[in-house]
């Protein structure tokens, strides 16, 4: 078994309460250790909650996956039944802080209003809590608002929807709809409208000192998007021996150097971080593509280049390529070609037609899809996602 991959884990329960403050024990540990990245080792993993296309079945839920980083859950797509898949997993839906929707087909969004309502039942209203950020194509805000409004559902937490404006070349001309006029002038916080950056050919969703998230365009029956989550490089280790030789004792000065600030010693000697820091540790890059038969524009290959994990759909097997393309989908060979072009470290296939049952007991052989993808990648191992499968993404080492 490779270092990446783990079978579905049994559900962990954290019902034990801390005697001191009533926080669940896990939450308390998290609070206490949040500032010490080394304790959590910047853990990152992906759990597939639904790996089937079109509709949920007992063997494959509809599209949804969670990228977890240091205990925070980011949900990508939310097909029907995602909330029950959460309950079956070791994850807690209450930990979701951001949601990303690749496109507006029902098998990717029909679980969203229900999940939001259930989350609302579980929260204690807290005005200081930042709103839940939801990113997705233009029209998503209206879908959420209308679903909640028509079902008389009121959320007890704030949310904002940031909409990506697609371009007409992301789908067949007859399928393109302009949803820009859907939003009434509104009451609630809007969120941003994100247009394609014409220079970068991508959409900048968020950026902080630790990571950057961008979206790029895909071709499908309706406009679809891929997301790239990329960590920024971390400063390398301090060369403690060198510091001691220079007469710098452990203390706050170490922290300054680590944070990129030069220091001046009492003897007037200046030490800059590059003098005593080893090489920076590269961040991890995760690419999650929505339904597609290809990409649009030239930014996607650059953005996905060197991905540590590339999650790509493979709705049908290679013998069905014509049908797959007709419906804006991919086959294992097509996904492998993309992974090869991007020099992705690891390719994970998902969004299988319900005929491909995990374990190969469906009408069609899922193992054959693995072979097809691997032959397109010169034998490099390819993972076929299953519901509740977790893939750990280890931190990289400094060079």
Q: Can you name the residues that pair with 371 across neighbouring β-strands?
A: none
Of the residues 38, 45, 77, 107, which is catalytic?
Answer: 107
- Cβ atoms of 330 and 321 closer than 8 Å: no
Q: How far is the CB of 84 from Zn ion (least distance, A)?
A: 19
Answer yes or no: 133 catalytic.
no
- Cβ atoms of 276 and 245 closer than 8 Å: no
Question: Which helix (H) or strand (E) covers residue 85, if one does?
Answer: helix 82-88
Task: Tell me the C-alpha distance between 305 and 345, whole Å.
Answer: 9
- Cβ atoms of 391 and 308 closer than 8 Å: no
Q: How far is the CB of 251 from Zn ion (least distance, A)?
A: 55
CB of 69 or CB of 220, closer to Zn ion: 220
CB of 109 or CB of 205, closer to Zn ion: 109
Q: How far is the CB of 347 from Zn ion (least distance, A)?
A: 18
Q: How far is the CB of 324 from Zn ion (least distance, A)?
A: 12
User: Residue 140, Cα to own-chain centre: how many angstroms?
Assistant: 18
Indicate whether 329 belongs to the interface with Zn ion (CB under 5 A).
no
Residues numbered 201 to 240 that lie near Zn ion (CB under 5 A) are none
Task: Tell me the C-alpha distance between 182 and 143, whole Å.
Answer: 9
Task: Tell me the C-alpha distance between 146 and 153, whole Å.
Answer: 10
CB neighbour list of residue 217: distance below 8 Å, 6 or more residues apart: 166, 167, 169, 170, 196, 201, 223, 224, 225, 226, 295, 296, 297, 300
Residues numbered 248 to 307 that lie near Zn ion (CB under 5 A) are 291
Residues across the chain: 399
Q: How far is the CB of 376 from Zn ion (least distance, A)?
A: 22
**Residues in contact with Zn ion, total (CB under 5 A)?**
4
Q: How far is the CB of 53 from Zn ion (least distance, A)?
A: 5
Q: How far is the CB of 63 from Zn ion (least distance, A)?
A: 6
- Cβ atoms of 372 and 317 closer than 8 Å: yes
CB of 134 or CB of 289, closer to Zn ion: 289
Structure token pair of residue 201 = 């050919």
Q: Which range, of 47-55, 116-124, 233-241, 277-285, touches Zn ion by CB under 5 A? A: 47-55
CB of 83 or CB of 293, closer to Zn ion: 293
Question: Which of 56, 81, 89, 107 lies at the binding interface for Zn ion (CB under 5 A)?
Answer: 107
Q: Coil, helix or strand for 275?
A: helix
CB of 114 or CB of 290, closer to Zn ion: 290
Question: Which helix (H) or strand (E) covers residue 269, if one does?
Answer: none
Structure token pair of residue 312 = 């790509």
Beta-carbon count within 10 A of 87 CB? 11
CB of 105 or CB of 285, closer to Zn ion: 105
Indicate whether 105 belongs to the interface with Zn ion (CB under 5 A).
yes
CB of 53 or CB of 331, closer to Zn ion: 53
Q: 94: which DSSP letter?
A: G
The site map against Zn ion for 48-67 (x = CB under 5 A) is -----x--------------
**Residue 351: which of 379, 325, 332 has the closest Cα?**
332
Q: Which range, of 46-54, 132-140, 195-203, 366-374, touches Zn ion by CB under 5 A? A: 46-54
Q: Could you identify the residue written with the tokens 């980083």?
A: 69
Q: Can you name the residues that pair with 311 across neighbouring β-strands?
A: 288, 348
Positions in the binding site for Zn ion (CB under 5 A):
53, 105, 107, 291
By annotation, the residues acting in catalysis are 107
């Amino acid at each position: 078994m490779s270092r990446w991959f783990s079978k579905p884990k049994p559900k962990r329960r954290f019902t034990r309460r801390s005697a001191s403050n009533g926080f669940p024990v896990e939450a308390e540990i998290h609070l206490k250790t949040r500032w010490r990245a080394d304790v959590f080792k910047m853990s990152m993993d992906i759990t597939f909650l639904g790996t089937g296309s079109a509709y949920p079945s007992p063997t494959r839920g509809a599209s949804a996956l969670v990228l977890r980083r240091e205990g925070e859950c980011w949900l990508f797509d939310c097909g029907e039944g995602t909330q029950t898949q959460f309950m079956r997993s070791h994850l807690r839906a209450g930990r979701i802080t951001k949601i990303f929707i690749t496109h507006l087909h029902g098998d990717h969004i029909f679980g969203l209003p229900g999940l939001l309502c259930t989350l609302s039942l579980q929260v204690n209203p807290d005005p200081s809590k930042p709103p839940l950020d939801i990113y997705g194509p233009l029209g998503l805000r209206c879908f959420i608002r209308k679903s909640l409004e028509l079902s008389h559902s009121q959320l007890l937490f704030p949310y904002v929807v940031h909409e990506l404006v697609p371009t007409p070349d992301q789908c067949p001309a007859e399928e393109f709809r302009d949803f820009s006029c859907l939003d009434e002038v509104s009451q609630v916080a809007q969120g941003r409208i994100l247009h394609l950056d014409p220079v970068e050919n991508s959409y900048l969703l968020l950026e902080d000192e630790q990571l950057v998230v961008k979206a790029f365009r895909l071709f499908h029956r309706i406009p679809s998007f891929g997301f790239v989550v990329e960590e920024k490089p971390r400063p390398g280790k301090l060369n403690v021996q060198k510091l001691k030789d220079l007469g710098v004792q452990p203390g706050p000065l170490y922290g300054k150097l680590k944070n990129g600030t030069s220091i001046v010693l009492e003897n007037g000697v200046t030490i800059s971080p590059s003098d005593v820091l080893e090489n920076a540790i590269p961040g991890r890059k995760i690419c999650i593509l929505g339904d597609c038969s290809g990409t649009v524009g030239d930014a996607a290959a650059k953005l996905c280049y060197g991905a540590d994990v590339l999650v790509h759909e493979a709705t049908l097997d290679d013998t069905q390529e014509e049908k797959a393309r007709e419906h804006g989908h991919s086959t294992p060979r097509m996904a492998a070609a993309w992974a090869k072009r991007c020099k992705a470290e690891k390719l994970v296939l998902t969004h299988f037609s319900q005929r491909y049952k995990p374990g190969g007991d469906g009408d069609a052989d899922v193992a054959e899809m693995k072979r097809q993808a691997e032959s397109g990648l010169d034998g490099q191992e390819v993972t076929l996602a299953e519901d509740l499968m977790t893939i750990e993404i280890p931190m990289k080492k400094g060079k």
